[in-house]
Amino acid sequence: MIQRITLAAAALTAALTGPLRAENEAVTAFTLDNGMEVVVIEDHRAPVVQQMVWYRAGSADEPPGQSGVAHFLEHLLFKGTDKLAPGELSATVRANGGQDNAFTSYDYTAYFQRVASDRLELMMQMESDRMTNLRLGEEDIATEREVILEERNQRTDNDPVALFREQLQAVQYLNHRYGQPVIGWRHEMESLDMADALSFYQTYYAPNNAILVVSGDVGPDDVKALAEEYYGVIPANPELPERFRSQEPPQTAARRLTFEDPRVAQPYVQRSYLAPERDSGAQQKAAALYLLAELLGGGNTSYLANALQFDQQVAVYSGAFYSGSSLDDTSFTFLVVPAEGVSMQQAEEALDATIARFLEAGVDEAQLERIKLQLRAAEIYNRDNVNGIANRYGQALSIGLTVQDVQDWPKILQSVTADEIIAAANEVLRPETSVTGWMSRGQEVTQ
């Protein structure tokens, strides 16, 4: 055992000190004649396969007045088709020892099954069937509408943190559909009907708006043959609309929100700024912002943690967050939980002063190299996660990136310089473009 650990450590050290090669992932991509994109990620270490179908349609693509319809349709897709009884797809997956589920976000909706690799054809049979043959009754609509309303009760309405973040998102995005919750506003969810669900389904659930990602113990030739047999025969939607979204106007004044709820367990300050997303062939700025978040608030050794938690002891937690995985502008966010006896105002002022000192002092090169080393290690370990790899490619293609962009991302992160990070910070972290929220139990905390 000691020898094996030593050899593994030696291999990891060699990988970390050498160039990072994303081509180690055996990825094959092709497009079916009807426009459906297919990505195959080979991993033959276990006889398991995961099939994912990603639709380029999420809550930000919903018509006005129908917030929540994308998530509603996700639920309805587990109802019946001409060939499958309601619930039969999931029951079949379980009977074959597998797992299945689905999820909806702002820019996409995805469905997946994880089964033994010799069951892939059965999964394609069922998934391709519900792409085009969904059959719904009014009872299905009424039942699932109650299900999603109860989900909102549990996950949002009964959680003050979720309510606070929902309001902050609405303040951050005044004109873009990212300002509405993925699950929907309750008053609009209550009126969702059969026509709304079928309209969204018939518009967006088509092979030329979908990406098939198959990862695990499979070969690309076998996947291509099965995909052509089951998905390739489905006609493309010739009337698929252009993916147009209203964009945010320039923000010229700081925005503020105070949220009070007696259920709040831990008051905190949250600050966000609009920030550019990852764009195909132009990911350098997003990489700089990703590293900025790691430097400022990526753990107990970050700049904010050292300044606010250890040196000044005005906070018990601090963090910075950025994810460029969106179709349109995303956000760069800070979070500070004040220490006992520290007001929200004091915590916010300490955050501002600390960010200003960071921008003036510049990036610590040793800290930057340490973070890059950690990212190289994480990239190597992530290759052991078939589900994570499939999600990475599916999400990327859903927001307009390419397979090459995904494979270039680790190298771009390693190439970012300290000057590029400070330039990105100065561009994004401007006071007049900030949105600041205070969440507390009441007046005794906020001052």
The residues annotated with a catalytic role in the active site are: 74
User: CA–CA separation, 79 vs 88, rounded Å?
Assistant: 8
User: CA–CA separation, 84 vs 197, rounded Å?
Assistant: 19
Alpha helices in 153-276 (DSSP H): 160-172, 186-189, 194-204, 220-230
Alpha helices in 399-442 (DSSP H): 403-415, 418-428
- Between the CA atoms of 422, 335, 280 and 432, what dihedral angle is there, to the nearest 10 degrees? -60
**Token pair listed for 218:** 């499979």
Answer yes or no: are the C-beta atoms of 79 and 135 closer than 8 Å.
yes
Answer yes or no: are the C-beta atoms of 354 and 308 closer than 8 Å.
yes
| Closest to 141 measured CA to CA, from 90, 75, 205 | 75
Q: How far is CA 321 from CA 293, 318, 365, in A?
A: 5, 10, 20
Residue 62 φ then ψ, to 5°: -75, 150
